[in-house]
Amino acid sequence: MNGSSLAAVAPELLRLGVGLLALVGFIAANGMLLLYVERKVAGHVQRRPGPFEVGPHGLLQAFADAGKLVGKQLATPAGADGLLFWAAPLMAFMPVPLMFIAIPFGENLFGLQTNLGLVLILSFAGFNVLALCLAGWGSNNKWSLLGAARAVSQAVAYEIPLLLSVLAVALMCGSLDLRQLAGSQGGWPWQWNVAVQPLAFFIYFVCAVAETNRAPFDLAEAESELTAGVHTEYSGMGNGIFFLAEYANMIVVGCVATALFLGGSQGPFAPGPWWFLAKMYLLVTLVIFMRWTYPRVRFDQLLNLNWRWLMPLALVNLLATALAVKLAG
Amino acid sequence: MAILTAPVQALAAVWSMVVGLRVTITNFFKPQETIHYPRQEVPPSHLDSFRGHIELVGTDEDPAKARCIGCGLCAELCPSFCLKVVAEDLPADPTVSYESHNGADQLMPRPKFKAPPPSQAQPRKLLSYHLVYHTCSLCGLCVQNCPAGSLRFSHDVYLAGASRGRFEFDLMERLRGQAAHGGPKGGKAHA
Amino acid sequence: MSWPAADPCQGLEGDLYARVFAEGARDDTLILNMGPQHPSTHGVLRVLLEMDGEYVMRAEPVLGYIHRMHEHMAQNRAYVQFFPNMGRVDYLHALAWNWAWAGAVEKLAGLEVPRRAEYIRVICTELNRVNSHLLWWGAYLLDLGAVTPIMYAFEDRELVMDMLQLITGSRLTYSSFRFGGVLTDIDTEFVSRCRAFLKRMPERLEMYRELVTGNAILRGRLEGVGVIDQMTARRYGATGPVLRGSGVGYDVRRAEPYGLYHEFDYAVPVHHDCDCMARYMVRMDELEASLSIVAQAIDGLPEGHCIHPDAPRGKWRPPAGEVYFAVEGARGKIGVYLASDGTEIPYRVKLRSPSFSNLSLFAEIGQGTLLSDAVAILGSLDLVIPEIDR
């Protein structure tokens, strides 16, 4: 490697390193924030205050809980496969910062510009399934095993329409680079992709909720059926990391939705990262509200919804988009 | 036909979800129903009907002296055997003892004395009145059947304790304490 | 929705409980203990499940974890001393059990109950039924994964409990009925609170409908699930909403009237779909029916005593004989069989609890369902485990 190419690569590497570190901080802060928001939303929806005792309006509750989780004993259940059991939470969390790296928070605020940003995110998102699968199998618990079986078939099924709906947008813009995709949209809501691709956005949103195992699609956890599904045997930070990963995944899907469908960092006045964050948090709040509103779907209904509705609709949408792109261009 | 009705049904389903979300969001903005307990408390007027453990009612003349005539009907009627009344006849008759409060009579309650009808009740001197609140089920039989109107429910909602002894009451002691502190006077026997 | 056409349990021989399987039994199934500690077995029910993947091939309820010998306790205490027990057999509809016991003894001894007392009984029993159904609604939705409804249900329940506390002094385990009447009279405070509650409820029920009943996910979870046909329900002796959800309009208040129920005009809701949704709808309709009864009773409340002046107090000796008295509880027919030998304590008491019969159904209709459906079916039976074990 000669000097000139090193000089060209070094700033990129530096950017990557700093970006990754900043993103880990961002994820951790967001985990705390979303934990707090989720509890407050749950509280107020249920006409109660939610966390209130630790700090003003319970603001420090998330920190107290994090401290509690860290302090707890990490118990490995008897007969469990220790390696797989503890590899699972790590595997759930490790790919998450990598997913964030391609997300364009602002015009110039991103970790890595790559023309395969979308592919990068979707491929790393697949790791989550593996983590749940390992957790279910490694726990040596029947409920966990059932949860893992559910998680795998759910995630595998929902990845397809998710991909197809995202593909429609990519096809429209002719790029897989999130920054370009976001930048190709205008500032006003009718210039966003969601106005052109409402069906794709809807499909993406449903699939995203399912992919992140959030209610009403939280079948892998399903506390009233499977006690806690794959999380049953995890104590302390083992459980905490799963939660952190869950919230981080929620943010990722919110970010991707914002970049792809809601104009990214573009906004009517003063475009910038704040618009991006505002839109992303709005979506995440909607997901949180959904959790506290709906009953859980049944396993076969979940798959039926996917194979009988989302998949054909996404295919039709993709075909129509392709046709429109071809005819228009 | 299914190809026509299915999309309509699907749209209706999606709409029902929106309606559900609307309910939770409107509730989100409504005031809270709960009370922040240590800082706020339920207004005392809402606690009037609360039944705490039973307590003795003082006479009108002397609030520290129970109306109890020592008949022992309450202890006899109590399904959980949580009352222990010691009284002696006037004039003193040491043969009557209520000390035999052991396990045997819990299995097969034998009335150890017959309660005379209230009109003919012979007042006896109340020596002690103990309540073991652990086993009380607050059925109200003692309060309802007291011929002298000497029992009522207390209203202490916040009764809590860390030891078993906290829930074993000497009700005469308690009555004297209440009278000394100008607590509830005699009067209404049954709230 | 389609289940495997063939019975998935075909060719299975054996006893799950004893874990003894005869030849021919499949050995590639998963034995799963649902309970006694499980979020949706509501206390201490244990269901032994034999699973093939997510399919329940066999479900065997195991009882007895909270057996407290209520019947035997009745046989070693005076008649009136048994009232506190009645609040604890079915803690959700304690007043129906109160009424069953009071009614049985009144029938045995031929006691008279003043009209006002009868009205008070109707009012608080129906309010208690509302309470019970509200809790069931919330807990059932919790089983189905919706966390919020139970909080809304408790908002309303709180009001009912406040009201009932006024007249019974308790909030859950009531023991306020007495032979020949009730313990406490109702006052204007109660009446005004009751009217306010009756005014509030239609709006709340509308909200429940919007939030839950009309929800597509809920309908998908309940419709066509856990079908109990009429004959099956009758064969197992199911009563209450479970039976009425199977299209049989049997309600003890109508079929064997007791108290003054014949004076009120109310609907006995019946649904003919036989599935979980039908049972759900029966209970939601019953909420309205109960509220209408309460409204009528409050309006027509007669003057008089709340307990008969000559009612027996304390320990007393009813005549010898035997009686059976049944009332309609929130879960079905509550029966008390009572044999007296003329002494101070009952000779024999047998309690017929509706949940016991309703649970027995589960072993049959739980077969071949998905685990999620098994949870939905179990919840739709509205089981109160202490009532099953007694």
Q: What is the pLDDT of residues B111-167, one digit of tens each?
A: 555 554 444 456 677 888 888 888 888 888 888 888 888 888 888 888 888 888 888
Do residues A143 and A229 lie in contact, with contact meaning Cβ atoms separated by under 8 Å?
A: yes
Closest CA in chain C for residue A290? C146
Query: ipTM value of the model?
Result: 0.82
Closest CA in chain C for residue B137? C84
Instruction: List, for residues A167-187, the tens digit of each pLDDT value.
Output: 888 888 888 888 777 777 777
Which chains are adjacent to chain B, needing at least 3 Cβ pairs under 8 Å? A, C
Query: Could you list the mean pLDDT of each consecutive 10-residue stretch along chain A, which spans 329 residues?
Result: 58 78 84 88 88 84 87 84 85 83 75 77 83 86 87 85 87 81 76 82 89 80 76 84 86 87 78 82 89 86 86 89 83
Residues of chain B positioned with their CB less than 8 A from the CB of A301: none
Look over chain C and give the mean of its residue pLDDT values, rounded to a whole number: 85
Would strands C14-15 and C20-21 be described as parallel, antiparallel, or unpaired? antiparallel
Instruction: List, for residues C343-355, the tens digit of each pLDDT value.
Output: 888 999 999 989 9
Q: Which residues contact C100 (CB under 8 A, 6 or more apart)?
A: C86, C325, C326, C327, C329, C334, C335, C336, C351
Predicted local confidence at residue C283, as pLDDT: 92
Predicted local confidence at residue A94, as pLDDT: 83
> CB-based contact (8 Å) between B12 and chain C?
yes
CB atoms within 10 A of CB C159: 20
Q: Whole-structure pTM over 0.80, yes or no?
A: yes
Do residues B68 and B56 lie in contact, with contact meaning Cβ atoms separated by under 8 Å?
A: yes
Integer Cα distance of B131 and A83 in angstroms: 58
Domains (ranges, CATH) in chain C? 70-358 (1.10.645.10)
Model confidence band, residue C27 (pLDDT cutoffs 50, 70, 90): low
Cis-peptide, bond into residue B116, ω within 30° of zero: no
3-state class percentages of chain C: helix first, strand second, coil last, to nearest 5: 45, 15, 40
Model confidence band, residue C132 (pLDDT cutoffs 50, 70, 90): very high
Interchain pair C215, B20: CB under 8 A: yes
Q: Identify the three-state secondary structure at position C185.
A: coil
Among C242, C265, C261, C379, smallest CA distance to C327 is for C261
Integer Cα distance of C97 and C79 in angstroms: 14
Q: What percentage of residues in chain C have a pLDDT greater than 70?
A: 93
> CB-based contact (8 Å) between A292 and chain C?
yes
> CB-based contact (8 Å) between C207 and chain B?
yes
Helices (H), chain B: 2-28, 73-77, 104-107, 141-145, 171-180
Do residues C124 and C164 lie in contact, with contact meaning Cβ atoms separated by under 8 Å?
A: yes
Q: Could you say which of C144, C148, C370 has the minimum Cβ distance to residue A45?
A: C148
Closest CA in chain B for residue C155? B33
> CB-based contact (8 Å) between B79 and chain C?
yes
CB atoms within 10 A of CB C204: 17
Residues in chain B: 191
The answer for C78, left when phi > 0, alpha when psi is -120 to 50, beta otherwise, is beta
Integer Cα distance of B161 and C43 in angstroms: 27
B99 pLDDT more than 50: no
> What fold characterizes domain B44-180?
Alpha-Beta Plaits (3.30.70)
Q: Could you say which of A150, A294, A301 has the minimum Cβ distance to residue C146?
A: A294
Predicted local confidence at residue C3, as pLDDT: 43
Q: In which residue are the tokens 């306020």 written?
A: C176
Instruction: List, for residues B18-66, the tens digit of each pLDDT value.
Output: 888 888 888 888 888 888 888 888 887 777 778 888 888 888 777 777 7
Interchain pair C146, A293: CB under 8 A: yes
Instruction: List, for residues C208-229, the tens digit of each pLDDT value.
Output: 888 888 888 888 888 888 888 8
Do residues A117 and A125 lie in contact, with contact meaning Cβ atoms separated by under 8 Å?
A: no
Would strands B124-132 and C20-21 be described as parallel, antiparallel, or unpaired? unpaired
Do residues A296 and C217 lie in contact, with contact meaning Cβ atoms separated by under 8 Å?
A: yes
Q: Identify the three-state secondary structure at position A47.
A: coil
The listed range with the strongest mean pLDDT (B83-97, B119-133, B165-179) is B165-179
Integer Cα distance of B36 and B13 in angstroms: 38
Interchain pair C145, A218: CB under 8 A: yes
Interchain pair C372, A45: CB under 8 A: no
**Structure tokens belonging to residue B187:** 């009067």
Q: Which residues contact B91 (CB under 8 A, 6 or more apart)?
A: none
Among B162, B3, B147, B1, smallest CA distance to B77 is for B147
Closest CA in chain C for residue A141? C32
**Structure tokens belonging to residue C355:** 């949940």
Predicted local confidence at residue C14, as pLDDT: 55
The amino acid at residue B55 is E
Interchain pair C77, B109: CB under 8 A: yes
Q: Could you say which of A41, A44, A294 has the minimum Cβ distance to residue B20?
A: A294
Cis-peptide, bond into residue B91, ω within 30° of zero: yes
CA separation, residue C311 to residues B72, B119, B153, C113, C175 (Å):
21, 17, 23, 9, 17
Interchain pair C40, A46: CB under 8 A: no
Closest CA in chain B for residue A313? B7
Query: What is the dihedral sign for C-alpha A247, A248, A253, A255?
Result: positive
Predicted local confidence at residue C6, as pLDDT: 47
Using CA atoms in the order C196, C198, C202, C208, what is the torsion angle rounded to 10 degrees? 90
Among C168, C193, C189, C201, smallest CA distance to C306 is for C168
Residue C326: which H helix or E strand, with range? Answer: strand C321-328
Name the DSSP letter for residue C263. Answer: G
In chain A, the largest separation of any two C-alpha atoms, in whole Å, equals 65
Predicted local confidence at residue C134, as pLDDT: 92
Closest CA in chain A for residue C375? A225
Model confidence band, residue C26 (pLDDT cutoffs 50, 70, 90): low
- Exposure string (b/e) for A212-248, b if CB count within 10 Å is 16 or more? bbbbbbbbbbbbbbbbbbbbbbbeebbbbbbbbbbbb
For chain A, domain boundaries: 77-328
The listed range with the strongest mean pLDDT (A72-81, A104-113, C128-137, C364-373) is C128-137
Residue A320: which H helix or E strand, with range? Answer: helix A311-328
Predicted local confidence at residue A111, as pLDDT: 66
Interchain pair C170, B138: CB under 8 A: yes
A residues 227-256 lying closer than 8 A (beta carbon) to C: 227
Integer Cα distance of A105 and A143 in angstroms: 39
C101 pLDDT more than 80: yes
Among C93, C184, C95, C308, smallest CA distance to B153 is for C184
Q: Could you say which of A142, A223, A296 has the minimum Cβ distance to residue C32?
A: A142
Instruction: List, for residues A204-223, the tens digit of each pLDDT value.
Output: 998 888 888 887 888 777 77
Do residues C119 and C355 lie in contact, with contact meaning Cβ atoms separated by under 8 Å?
A: no
